[in-house]
Amino acid sequence: MTMIACIANQKGGTSKTSTTLALGAACAERGQRVLLVDLDPQASLTAAAGAPLLGRPTVYTALSHYLAHDEAPDLAAGGMLHPVSAGLTLLPSSIDLAAAEMELVTAVRREYILSEVLAPALDDYDLVLIDCPPSLGLLVVNALTAAREVIVPVVPEYLAAHGLQLLLGSIGRIRKNKLNPRLQIAGIIFTMVDNRTTHGRAVAEEIRGSIGRQAPILGEVKRSIKVAEAAAAGVPITAYAARSDSALAYGQIADGLLARWGLRPPPPAPVASGVAGAADADALAAATAAATAGAVAHG
Ligand SMILES: Nc1ncnc2c1ncn2[C@@H]1O[C@H](COP(=O)(O)OP(=O)(O)OP(=O)(O)O)[C@@H](O)[C@H]1O
Ligand SMILES: [Mg+2]
C-alpha cells in the first residue's frame, strides 16, 4: 500500500519545502517510486525541484477538474506530472492554488478533494510526500485527510513548542471529527539547528524531553548554506551536495522513515532517538503545553 505523508507546520520558514524535496530525493535514491505534491500556492517546491513556474497544468488544475467533473483527472495524461529525477516525480503548484482554498469551501466533502484526486495515481508510487503551506486552512486539512502520517519540521527557537501545540491540536481535531481517524504523527525533525546558541539547545531539549517519547524525534538537520544553495539551483540537496552534513542527515532520516513504513528493512545503525511508535495527538498536545511553558520560561 502506498504511504502518503504530509510535511506540515503552520509556522512559516521551518524547512517544510526543503525537507519534502530532500526526503523525496533520498527515498527515490533508495529505490522508491516517489510522488511529491506541492500544495503551497507559493510554489516553492516547484521552483526548488527545477520545474517551470508558469503555463503548465498543476495541482490546481487537478483540484479544479475534480470540482468541475466530480471525478479525478488522469494526472499523467493531463500533463500535470513533472519528472524531477529517477524515481522522483512532482505534481507542481502555482499561485492559482490560492484560489482553490475559496473554491473548496463550497464543495461537497470539501476536506477529501485532494485524497480523491490522488487516489487513482497511487498504484504508480510507493510513497507520496505532500508539502503543506504555512497555515492550518482548508488546503492543509485536505493534506491531513489524504495522509496517513505527518512529518513536522521544527526550528528549535522561541515559541516553537507553542506552534507545535497548535498543529497537534489540529491533528487531534482531524482525528476526533473522524475526517481521518487513522492519522499518525511520524515524528519531528529539528531543522536549521544551530548548536552554538544555548537558547536553541534549550528549546530542542524541552521538546525532546516532553514529547520525544510520544512523537519520535526523527533526526536533526543543521543550518547550512548548502540547503539554500540547492533550492536556488533547483536541485535536491542529496544531489547538489551529496556528502554534505545536510544530505547525510536527510539520508539517515529517510532510512528511519522507510523502515517505519515497512518500505525497506531497518537500517543497521540506530537513527537519532528512534522512529517506532504511534503518537497520540491529544497526549502530545498536553505534553507540548508543558514544553511551551518551559520554553517561555527559558526565553
Ligand atoms: N537547513 C537549512 N539551512 C539553511 N537554510 C535553510 C535550511 N533549510 C531551509 N533553509 C532555507 O530557509 C528558507 C525557508 O525554507 P523552506 O522554504 O524549506 O521552509 P518552509 O517551511 O517550506 O517555508 P514556508 O512556510 O514559507 O513554506 C529557504 O530559503 C531555504 O532555502
Ligand atoms: Mg514551503
- pLDDT tens-digit profile of 249-277? 999 999 999 999 999 765 566 655 544 44
Q: Whose CA is nearest to atom 30 of ligand 1?
A: 228
pLDDT digits (tens, 9 = 90+) for 96-115: 999 998 999 999 999 999 99
Closest ligand 1 atom, residue 153 Cα: 21
Q: If 0-12 CB within 10 Å is exposed, 13-18 middle and 19+ buried, where does residue 176 land?
A: exposed
Q: Are 147 and 190 in contact (CB under 8 A)?
A: no
The continuous run of DSSP H or E covering 264 comes out as none
Any atom of ligand 1 within 6 Å of the Cβ of 210:
no
Q: Whose CA is nearest to atom 5 of ligand 1?
A: 228
- Give the pTM: 0.90
User: How many Cα neighbours within 13 Å face the side chain of 207?
Assistant: 30
Q: Judge whether residue 283 has pLDDT over 60.
A: no
Residue boundaries of the structural domains of the chain: 3-268, 272-299
CATH classification code of 3-268: 3.40.50.300
pLDDT digits (tens, 9 = 90+) for 41-70: 999 999 999 998 888 999 999 999 999 999
Any atom of ligand 1 within 6 Å of the Cβ of 223:
yes
pLDDT value at position 287?
54
Q: Judge whether residue 206 has pLDDT over 50.
A: yes
Closest ligand 1 atom, residue 14 Cα: 21
Q: Whose CA is nearest to atom 8 of ligand 1?
A: 15
Q: Judge whether residue 292 has pLDDT over 80.
A: no
Instruction: Determine the residue of 18, 194, 195, 225 to mutate for testing ligand 1's pocket, defined as the one with the most ligand atoms within 8 A of the Cβ atom.
Output: 18
pLDDT value at position 199?
86
86 Cα–ligand 1 center, Å? 24
pLDDT value at position 60?
97
